[in-house]
Homo-oligomer: A and B are copies of this chain.
C-alpha cells in the first residue's frame, strides 16, 4: 500500500485543491510516492475539529496507518469574540488545549505518524473588510493580524511542547513587503502566491521529518527505467 498523508484543517485546507492549490501541488509532487488525502472543513475551529476527530480518522483496522498528517487550524479560532464571526471564536488558551488533544489523539491512534503543525496565516484587515462573503456592518474586521499572531505563537508553543515540527506561516508570509495582496485573496484565504508558500513550507517540513522524494519508494517502474528493448523485464518481480 502506498503511504498516505492526511491534510486536516479548515477552509484553507478544504480549498487546497483549487487551481494551483497547495494540496494539489503536494499530490502532484508525490504523484508516484504518496497519497494526499483531503480532510478540510471550512469554518471549523479546533473545538469542532476535536469533537469530530474520531470520525475523521478511521482506526488502523479500517483505514491503515498514514505516514503523516498536517494539522492546520487557528484562523477561525482567532475570530474576535465581539465581532461578526464570533461564533467561531475559541480563546487562545482553549486553542492550545484543543491542539494538544488533537495531537494526543493522532499519536495514540497511530504512534508512528508524523504530525506537521501549521500556524494560521497573517490577516490583511483591509482585505477582510472588502470580503463580500461575510455580513459585516460594523466596519471593523472580524479578524485582526495581531490576534492571528497570538494563535500562531500558541501553535508554535504546542509544537515545541510536543516535540513535533511546525510551519510558522504567520511569520513566513510577513517577510516580504506587500504580503497582504501577494499571498492573500480576501485578507485570509490564499491566492496562488500564498498557496505556493504553503506548499513549499510543507515540503520543507516533511523533508525535515524524513519524508521526501529522495526517501519514499516509487510506486512501480518509472518509464525512464524501462528498457525499450525488453520492457517486460521491468515487471518480472
Contacts and interface: CB of A to CB of B under 8 A. Distances in A.
A20 B38 CA distance: 17
Interface stretch (A52-60, A97-105, A154-162, A174-182): A52-60
Q: Which of A38, A88, A232 has the most chain B CB atoms inside 10 A of its CB?
A: A38
Interface in A18-57: 18-21, 23-25, 27-28, 31-32, 35, 37-38, 40-44, 47-48, 51-52, 55-56
A189 to B, nearest CB: 13
Contact of A38 (B21, B35, B42, B56): B35
Contacts of A40: 31
B43 A223 contact: yes
B38 A231 contact: no
Given A1-B58, A27-B27, A226 B19 contact: no
Count this chain's copies in the assembly.
Answer: 2
Interface residues of A, number: 45
Contacts of A235: 48, 51-52
The 9 tightest CB contacts between A and B, nearest first, are A43-B223, A24-B24, A87-B228, A17-B28, A17-B27, A51-B235, A17-B24, A19-B20, A42-B223
Given A1-B63, A43-B223, A87-B229, 20 more contacts: A14-B31, A17-B28, A18-B24, A18-B28, A19-B24, A21-B24, A27-B27, A31-B40, A32-B41, A41-B220, A42-B222, A42-B223, A48-B231, A48-B232, A51-B232, A52-B235, A55-B220, A63-B64, A87-B226, A87-B231
9 contacts: A18-B24, A19-B20, A21-B24, A27-B38, A41-B223, A56-B219, A56-B220, A87-B228, A88-B231
